[in-house]
Amino acid sequence: MIDLISDTVTQPTAAMRAAMAQAKVGDEQRGEDPSTTALCERVAALLGKEAAVFLPSGVMCNQISILMHCRPGDLIFADESAHIVNSEAGGPAVLAGATLCALAGRHGMYTVADVEAKLRPAKRNAPKPRLIVVEQTVNRGGGGIWSLGDIAALAAFAQSHRLRVHMDGARLMNAVVASRIPARDYARHCDTVWIDLSKGLGCPVGAVLAGSAETIEQAWVWKHRLGGAMRQSGILAAAGLYALDHHVERLAEDHVNAQRLAELAIRLPGVRLDPTDVATNLVFFDVQASGLTARQLCSRLLAHGVRMGEESQSRVRAVTHLGISRDDIDQAALALESVLT
Ligand SMILES: *Cc1c(COP(=O)(O)O)cnc(C)c1O
């Protein structure tokens, strides 16, 4: 099976498993797990923040950040394609009691003007604008990279309106490798920022949330409340440390493979995509003109041993990752060709 459904399907490599097996561990809740402590210090330094906390998932990083930034009724600005809008089971409303303002951006990205257009004069009966969320890279928006300039402009706007900025950095390291801009440069503009270990970095579990020392102290309180505090988490943190040493630069291969898939796919009848839209490891294409729905296409691809994701009626998503070689891409394109012709 050539599995392009997501970069979450990556399996820990033998070397990563060996690093996990050898990890020094202790009770994380007591601050006694040396591997987890090392991972948090490493990610805090990478992101240019004072502190970081290891959490079970990216969703928990988002939800804890929202809980810290927002009070019930507060307003969160995010692109309408954002993970917190579509894929977190309404968590902001359930947990923080926050209201989402989903902006119609372009390719998952929006500008100061888009936020300004939604800002109402402060009134007793209006939800209080509180938080701006930037997804780097954008996922359902198409895998694109927010420019540093756009993030800086939003952050300056946020500061002048007393809003906070949160970065959902599930694939921030993909943006770093593709743009050659250091993670801390993107993170500088954000009050809270996290990276996922279990996507392209290839770890089995985990994400790390960074911010000021005070913020991370508060994040720890929420980690306890939500049941996210762990014990010998060093087994998992060791995978993260291994990934930061060995799986960051190789993300460039995933980007080359994604570009190759896009260039092969665009030649096929019924496929609509613009390879210049493929900035990282996510490839989206439209198949409406093929006469097949995305679901039909994906199920026929499965019969050829290739798994892609149905994003909508006519939109398909394919994700490259460390389990996918250039050969796999060529085979996936051949399978796509037989399904479409
Ligand atoms: C995957 C993803 C998340 C959630 O991360 P998990 O570790 O799966 O909980 C959040 N935001 C974006 C953009 C993602 O792609």
pLDDT value of position 232: 98
Q: What is the distance in A from the centroid of ligand 1 to the CA of 291? A: 32
Question: Of ligand 1's atoms, which has the minimum distance to the CA of residue 168?
Answer: 11
pLDDT value of position 271: 97
3-class DSSP state for residue 167? Answer: strand
* Residue 211, ligand 1, Cβ within 6 A: no
Question: Of ligand 1's atoms, which has the minimum distance to the CA of residue 138?
Answer: 13
Owner of token pair 């540093």: 148
Question: Of ligand 1's atoms, which has the minimum distance to the CA of residue 60?
Answer: 9
Closest CA to 248 of 285, 199, 297, 294: 199
Taking CA atoms only, the protein residue closest to ligand 1 atom 5 is: 58
Distance CA 86, CA 78 (A): 11
DSSP bridge partners of 103: 79
Q: What is the distance in A from the centroid of ligand 1 to the CA of 142? A: 14
* Residue 138, ligand 1, Cβ within 6 A: no
* Residue 135, ligand 1, Cβ within 6 A: yes
pLDDT value of position 223: 98
Give the contacts of 78 (CB within 8 A, at least 6 positions apart): 84, 85, 100, 101, 102, 103, 132, 133, 135
Edge-to-edge strands, sheet with 207-211 = 51-55, 207-211, 192-196, 164-169, 129-135, 75-79, 99-103
CA distance readout (Å), 84 to 60, 80, 87: 11, 9, 6
Give the contacts of 90 (CB within 8 A, at least 6 positions apart): none
Question: Of ligand 1's atoms, which has the minimum distance to the CA of residue 137?
Answer: 13
User: By the 8 A CB rule, do 309 and 298 touch?
Assistant: yes
DSSP bridge partners of 54: 208
Show the CA angle centred on residue 80, arms to residues 79 and 86, nearest 5°: 115
* Residue 88, ligand 1, Cβ within 6 A: no
74 φ, ψ (degrees, to nearest 5): -65, 155
* Residue 196, ligand 1, Cβ within 6 A: yes
Question: Of ligand 1's atoms, which has the minimum distance to the CA of residue 82?
Answer: 13
* Residue 59, ligand 1, Cβ within 6 A: yes
Q: What is the distance in A from the centroid of ligand 1 to the CA of 136? A: 11
Among 54, 59, 166, name the best residue to mutate to test ligand 1's pocket (greatest count of ligand atoms within 8 A of Cβ). 59
Question: Of ligand 1's atoms, which has the minimum distance to the CA of residue 196?
Answer: 7
Q: What is the distance in A from the centroid of ligand 1 to the CA of 269? A: 33
Q: What is the distance in A from the centroid of ligand 1 to the CA of 203? A: 13
pLDDT value of position 324: 98
* Residue 207, ligand 1, Cβ within 6 A: yes
Widest CA span in the chain: 60
Mean pLDDT per segment of 10 residues, for the chain of length 341 residues? 98 98 98 98 98 98 98 98 98 98 97 96 93 97 96 98 98 98 98 98 98 98 97 98 98 98 97 94 97 98 98 97 98 97 91
pLDDT value of position 140: 94
